[in-house]
Amino acid sequence: MTKLSVNINKIATLRNARGGNLPNVLKSALDIERFGAQGITIHPRPDERHIRYSDAYELKKHINTELNIEGNPIDKFLELVLKVVPSQATLVPDAPDAITSDAGWNTKEHKSFLQDTIAQLKEKGIRTSIFVDADEEMVFHAKETGTDRIELYTESYAANYTKNRETAIAVFVKAGKAAQELGLGLNAGHDLNLENLKYFAERVPALKEVSIGHALVCDALYLGLENTVMMYRRLLGQ
């Protein structure tokens, strides 16, 4: 079964735009769990423009499903993760001023750094995942970092889905099979939505988790949050 982890960054963005605590990020996360999500993802950035570091501590205390904290493993981020001890830490090579993640790791070039970072996380019993492009070579070198999982960066799939979905999915199927053969768990995320998720989940082998935030929150504006979470769950065959 592929789990749905909902990224709540956009809910925090809305809160921060006005100040105060509306919408309440913790209550939203608990409601999203109650509506059927099997995980909550947050991606704190150094400027805390959406999720704040303090949110991570509150979420860890209260949510009942898996907490996934993703981000660039700079010192500040690692300190947070090692203190909070989420179920999963996803390492993403995004620049401090990035609007959103836009590339996976070069796992060959950064292998030593990733090995050292992952070792620290594993000492705390944190499951690790690293954000990678759908490239079999990057998957192979990811295995040598010691990570438990990889997360496939799916922007290119989403961008090309309506043009030719068979072509768009091909490299992800290959990367997924490579991960499976190497014994790596497989996650995926970025621009997956109600239109393209079902086909991706059906074609990519042994997909453990998808992380979806922006599209899901946008859909919820029209469809309602509870209904939207259930719709994404149904696309995953649940």
pLDDT in tens, 9-22: 999 999 999 999 99
Q: Which residues are catalytic?
A: 43, 70, 190
Binned at pLDDT 50, 70 and 90, residue 94 comes out as: confident
Which fold is adopted by the domain 3-235?
TIM Barrel (3.20.20)
User: Which neighbouring-strand residues pair with 41?
Assistant: 7, 68
pLDDT above 70 covers a percentage of the chain that reads 97
Q: Smallest Cα–Cα separation from 57: which of 71, 46, 67?
A: 67
pLDDT in tens, 30-68: 999 999 999 999 999 999 999 999 999 999 999 999 999
The confidence score (pLDDT) of residue 103 equals 80
Structural tokens at position 36: 């059927």
Between CA 117 and CA 78 the distance in angstroms is 8
Whether residue 115 has pLDDT greater than 90: yes
- Residue 55: CB atoms within 10 A of its CB come to 20
pLDDT in tens, 174-213: 999 999 999 999 999 999 999 999 999 999 999 999 999 9
**pTM, full prediction:** 0.95
Q: Are 227 and 31 in contact (CB under 8 A)?
A: no
Q: Smallest Cα–Cα separation from 131: which of 155, 108, 150?
A: 150
Q: What letter represents residue 48's amino acid? A: E
Question: What residue spans define the domains of the chain?
Answer: 3-235
Burial annotation 125-162 (CB, 10 A radius, 16+ → b, else e): ebbbbbbbbbbeebbbbbbebbbbbbbbbbbbbbeebe
